[in-house]
Amino acid sequence: MFYDQAKIFVKGGDGGNGVASFRREKYVPEGGPNGGDGGSGGNVIFIGDEGLRTLVDFRYQRHYKAERGEHGMGKNMHGRNGEDMTVKVPIGTVVKDAETNALIADITSHNQKVIVAKGGRGGRGNAKFVSSVNRAPTISENGEPGAERWLELELKVLADVGLVGFPNVGKSTIISAVSAAKPKIANYHFTTLEPNLGVVRLGEGQSFVMADIPGLIEGAHAGAGLGHDFLRHTERTRFLIHVLDISGSEGRDPLEDFDGINKELALYKPDLAEKPMVVAANKMDLPGAEGNLERLREKLGEEYLIFPVSAATTEGLEPLLWHVYHGLEAMGPVVFETVTAEKHMDVRVTGKKAERFHIDRDEEGTFVVSGAEVERHVAMTNFENEESVTRLQRILDRMGVDQALRDAGAKHGDQVRIRELEFDFVEFGGDYAPDPDDADNEE
């Protein structure tokens, strides 16, 4: 089966914990702190691979987690960094955040690498907290948790030329006649259930990739039939061949077919209808084809090039292919636009700084403090160490969390939650004295 959509979970490796340790050596009094840092967690990295054609691998494995960093040790020994996890994906894969639908990456070249889940940094050991006023700190940090998220993967076939048209007009027969592709061919609708790719070779060094897009029907842009699932594959093509059953063997008018398919392309994405297009009037070997060809030329002859062809006998295919090839040559080399998240976001400059944290109140009356920075400080605090907890209190006060809770109505004894940490809001009757040597609290 051709799998062109998948939903997976990725998580960067957690950072290793730093350690609080002191030098113990004979004849060396007051040896001082020598706790090493934890190693950084590995990243989850997507790599474009031109040898892959579908997302079928993600059907069987949906969770990807990079290795965590090792914990620090005494004698200033740092933990080893976690190994990155590399995941190969087909060329043409679009990666989005499943929750926000924000674009993360558009993988359009072989060996293109994208970090989709960054590993956490390692926690610092107590050797990093030595200052002029604290010569023997017992503070150590936990490792930072790795980023985690659900991703939506969407594959858009990369092809130079796309064959579009109603079901059973002969698209599969054409691609099988002009390339080595061997699609399933039968005289009934929706024989083609997946896009077929074939390389068309015209001469030495003269070739292009053709895709047979499964048959579209009226309402395809809104999800009718198979069209909604496969219209996305026309987005990557540079040239379209509109295949018509010019004989009307299916009981449809080829002129109405042409208008119907173009309407579906425009409704799905307006720029699709503006792609260079030629018309392949197929099944010229059947009765009624000549009369309909004349009608087609009268209506479209001035706007589109029309090639009368017979996929069954291969008559007329060579001029069509050479015209398409020269059209592609005139467009120049394939250059896919580098798509970035900023191009898919509404970014307005307001002159205001982004909020460092946000305070809400849940149904039980608990004050909930959220925000990446404040949550990171909580996650990296070693709550088994009193000095580390005191440092966290100092950081939250300097960030303005205490005052913001007061402004939000928090009173002495009210419950406050940050991540999984719940505590009582306590008024001490005075502010904490900031530690001038604690320069890392603004990270």
Secondary structure of residue 15 in the 3-state scheme:
coil
The tens digit of pLDDT for each residue in 297-342 reads 999 888 899 999 998 899 999 999 999 999 988 887 655 544 444 4
Strands 85-90 and 44-49: parallel
What are the two backbone dihedrals, phi and then psi, of residue 39, each rounded to the nearest 5 degrees? -80, 155
Q: How much is the CA Rg of the chain, to the nearest whole Å?
A: 31
How confident is the model over 115-139, as a mean pLDDT?
91
- Are 312 and 178 in a shared domain? yes
**pLDDT tens, residue by residue, 55-106:** 878 888 999 999 999 999 988 899 999 999 999 998 888 899 999 888 898 8
**Long-range contacts (CB closer than 8 Å, 24 or more residues apart) made by 370-378:** 370/418, 373/399, 374/399, 374/401, 374/418, 375/418, 375/419, 376/144, 377/441, 378/418, 378/419, 378/421
Q: Does residue 206 surpass a pLDDT of 50?
A: yes
Flag whether 53 is in a domain.
Answer: yes
For residue 440, tell me if it sits in a domain.
no
| Confidence at residue 135, expressed as pLDDT on a 0 to 100 scale | 85
| 46: three-class secondary structure by DSSP | strand
Please say which residue of 315, 331, 347 terminates a domain: 331
Number of domains present in the structure of the chain:
3
Domain assignment of residue 112, given as a range:
5-155
- The three-class DSSP label of residue 439 is helix
The answer as to whether 46 is a domain residue is yes
Within a domain: 408: yes
191 shares its domain with 272 = yes
Do 168 and 202 have their domain in common? yes
Q: Comparing C-alpha atoms, which of 316, 312, 154, 340 is closest to residue 231?
A: 154
Domain co-membership, 19 together with 168:
no
Mean pLDDT of the chain: 81
Q: Is 172 inside a domain boundary? A: yes
> Could you tell me the CATH number of the domain that includes residue 178?
3.40.50.300
1-5, 89-93, 273-277: least confident range: 1-5
